[in-house]
Structure 1
Amino acid sequence: MSQAFVFRTIDLDGNTIRTAVRPGKPHLTPLLVFNGIGANLELIFPFVNALDPDLEVIAFDVPGVGGSSTPNTPYRFPGLAKLAARMLDYLDYGQVSVIGVSWGGALAQQFAHDYPERCKKLILAATAAGAVMVPGKPKVLMLMASPRRYIQPSYGAHIAPEIYGGAFRRDKTLALSFASKVRSSGKLGYYWQLFAGMGWTSIHWLHKIKQPTLVLAGDDDPLIPLINMRMIAWRIPNSQLHVLDDGHLFLITRAETVAPIIMKFLQEERQRAIMHPQQTISPSH
């Protein structure tokens, strides 16, 4: 199904960034995807394919991941948010909605905070507020601290039930399918991603995020316990929480269930405008 995507590799601030766009229709605000740690953009294709085909979707490999170049020095989330804004400029996008998954959820929070005019709506999936969070089990965190699962797919498939939970516990073929789509750029890029999150937290400014926000969580997530998503939803003023019966990677394992929830959220304002057209008309004087 990936043939629907248009791939481009662009040069930004000394980085070579691999991008993929699934073209859509202009009546829907495009959706920008921030992926999880170590995850190349192909891993979210099953989720994107479950979304309304009219929705334009922008995905990219962050520096050091997949087909993007690995920088010589580490980076932080504010720098990555700026890079994402520059990428949108380069690709000629104005305002987008944003979805962030796991590690990418932290980057999505940073982007929504730093570029509120560029981010229309925010979707946070299986993520946390950074350093101020209730951590997963120590053994699971230790497994996550190593890039081995991305460099050695068979090992990734072996530990997937323990680190991802949910459907990965019940269906062993899921882990093998997921591992087969992994495209590693090596250890350094993974360590740079870990460094980006060290000491970072959004907890003190989450209340300033004004965008309508959809918080999605799995009830069997070994990496990000559910209480973290409840805390984010509580801190962001204009937010709603939706809990799914699954683990950390519910966007992939439950794509057909999650996609309609996301589309409803993204289209809510437009539906209101159609139902109540008088609200969109300026009063005459």
Structure 2
Amino acid sequence: MVDETLNKTSQRAFEIDFLNIGGYSVRVGIVPGNRHKTPILLFNGIATSFEFAQPFAQALDDVTLITFDIPGVGGSPTPLMPPRFPQLSFLTEQLLDELNLGQVNVLGYSWGGALAQQFTYDHPQRVKQLILAATTMGMVAIPGLPMELFKLLKPGILFGSLKKMSIQQAAGCQWVIPQQGPRGFWYQLITGWGWTSAYWLRKIKTKTLLLAGDHDLMVPSINLKVMQQLMPNAQFRSISGDHFFMVTQPRACARMIGEFCEYF
């Protein structure tokens, strides 16, 4: 169930550009906001271009949102070889430098939560506060239901599936989402293969909010509860919804994150 229908006439639109960073052509999206508030840097989910975050971006009101399509996903061209998380972490630091940004609040959703953990571990001075939503520690994780996880191995479900389209339409997101095809999807799976933050997660001392959907069958909330026990400065919150709560409950997410980041 969607929390509120967003008014399409008042949508905060992404300003889109392509930047050449670290040998990659990266499609970057920025929704401008109040320059006196710390921007949010969003790492998105698997096989998802940043337009998928439009409802959440609108719900943030006057907070700047910065995000980009991972190489091979959305509008960013597919590289010859799949990058690993440390490479993407370094790429992200270069992106912030290119945009003349210092500290940001980092939000990692699903697959992007792993990259958010890696970036915070590698560059703690760039992260004011960390939000991890519907994510895990990687290979050291408590799996969801097999049939739900099987959907992640079928690119067709993630490329314009009826389920995902219905979520976008219900949330008022009318974007035409670019795709690079299934190779980028498989690259993202390879990026995460063998990766885990379990060995060093306790070293992340950044103030952290862990968000879990109370009906998430892909990433059970127990994963984030375990992460809370490992992280010295983390708090756990549950939100109504399944794995796609960032899209189906954008205002509820924005409210929780806004309170945590002290935007209001």
SS in structure 2 of the partner of residue 17 of structure 1? strand
SS in structure 1 of the partner of residue 124 of structure 2? coil
Using CA pairs under 8 Å that are at least 6 residues apart, name the structure with larger relative contact order, 1 or 2: 2
User: Greater CA radius of gyration, 1 or 2?
Assistant: 1
SS in structure 1 of the partner of residue 33 of structure 2? coil
Question: 2:98 maps to which residue?
Answer: 90
Give the CA deviation at 1:245.
2.0
Give the CA deviation at 1:176.
5.7
| Greater helix share, structure number | 1
Question: 2:167 maps to which residue?
Answer: 174
* Counterpart residue identity of residue 251, structure 2: E
* Counterpart residue identity of residue 258, structure 2: M
In 2, the alpha carbon distance for the partners of 1:236 and 1:186 equals 36
Whether the aligned pair in 1 keeps the contact of 2:52 and 2:168 (CA below 8 Å) is no
Question: 2:220 maps to which residue?
Answer: 225
In 2, the alpha carbon distance for the partners of 1:38 and 1:234 equals 30
Question: 1:169 maps to which residue?
Answer: none
Whether the aligned pair in 1 keeps the contact of 2:12 and 2:31 (CA below 8 Å) is no
Aligned counterpart for 1:183 among listed residues 160, 173, 178:
178
SS in structure 1 of the partner of residue 41 of structure 2? strand
Question: 1:267 maps to which residue?
Answer: 262
In 2, the alpha carbon distance for the partners of 1:38 and 1:173 equals 17
Aligned residues: 253
Whether the aligned pair in 2 keeps the contact of 1:47 and 1:252 (CA below 8 Å) is yes
Question: 2:4 maps to which residue?
Answer: none
Cα pair distance change 1:177/1:40, threshold 3 Å: farther
Give the CA deviation at 1:115.
0.3
Question: 2:7 maps to which residue?
Answer: none
Question: 2:6 maps to which residue?
Answer: none
Structure 2 residue ranges without an equivalent (≥5): 1-9
Aligned counterpart for 1:66 among listed residues 63, 74, 90:
74
Percent of aligned pairs with the same residue? 42
* Counterpart residue identity of residue 9, structure 1: F
Detail structure 1 runs of 4+ shifted over 6 Å in the superposition: none
Give the CA deviation at 1:23.
1.4
In 2, the alpha carbon distance for the partners of 1:183 and 1:136 equals 28
Cα pair distance change 1:140/1:180, threshold 3 Å: farther
Cα pair distance change 1:180/1:141, threshold 3 Å: farther
Q: Pairwise mapping of residues 75-224 of structure 1 onto structure 2 (< 5 A)?
A: 75-151=83-159, 153=160, 156-158=161-163, 173-174=166-167, 181=175, 182-224=177-219
Output one character per residue of 1:137-173: Cα deviation in whole Å (capped at 9) or x when no partner: 222222211211233x2xx225x6xxxxxxxxxxx94
Question: 1:234 maps to which residue?
Answer: 229
Give the CA deviation at 1:46.
0.3
Aligned counterpart for 1:31 among listed residues 32, 40, 45:
40
Give the CA deviation at 1:85.
0.7
* Counterpart residue identity of residue 45, structure 1: Q
SS in structure 2 of the partner of residue 113 of structure 1? helix
Question: 1:274 maps to which residue?
Answer: none
Give the CA deviation at 1:26.
2.6
Give the CA deviation at 1:57.
1.0
